[in-house]
Amino acid sequence: MVLLAQLVGTLYGLLAVIFGAFGAHVLKKTFTAEQLNSFETGIKYQMYHALLIVMLSFNFNLETALEQNMMYCFLIGTFLFSFSIYGLCLSAAKGRKMRFLGPITPIGGLLLVIGWALLLYSFFKNLI
**93-102 per-position pLDDT tens digit:** 988 889 899 9
Q: Which range among 60-69, 89-98, 114-123 shows the weakest confidence by mean pLDDT?
A: 89-98
Distance between CA atoms of 14 and 47, rounded to whole angstroms? Answer: 9
119 Cβ contact partners less than 8 Å away, ≥ 6 residues apart: 56, 70
User: Does the structure show a pLDDT above 90 at 69?
Assistant: yes
Determine the residue type at 52: L
User: Does the structure show a pLDDT above 90 at 40?
Assistant: yes
Kindly give the residue spans of alpha helices, DSSP state H, lying in 1-128.
Answer: 2-25, 33-59, 65-93, 104-127
106 Cβ contact partners less than 8 Å away, ≥ 6 residues apart: none
Mean pLDDT taken over the chain: 95
User: Does the structure show a pLDDT above 90 at 24?
Assistant: no
Q: How remote is the C-alpha of 28 from its chain's centroid? A: 22
Query: Quick check: 81 and 45 in contact, CB under 8 A?
Result: yes
User: Does the structure show a pLDDT above 90 at 28?
Assistant: no
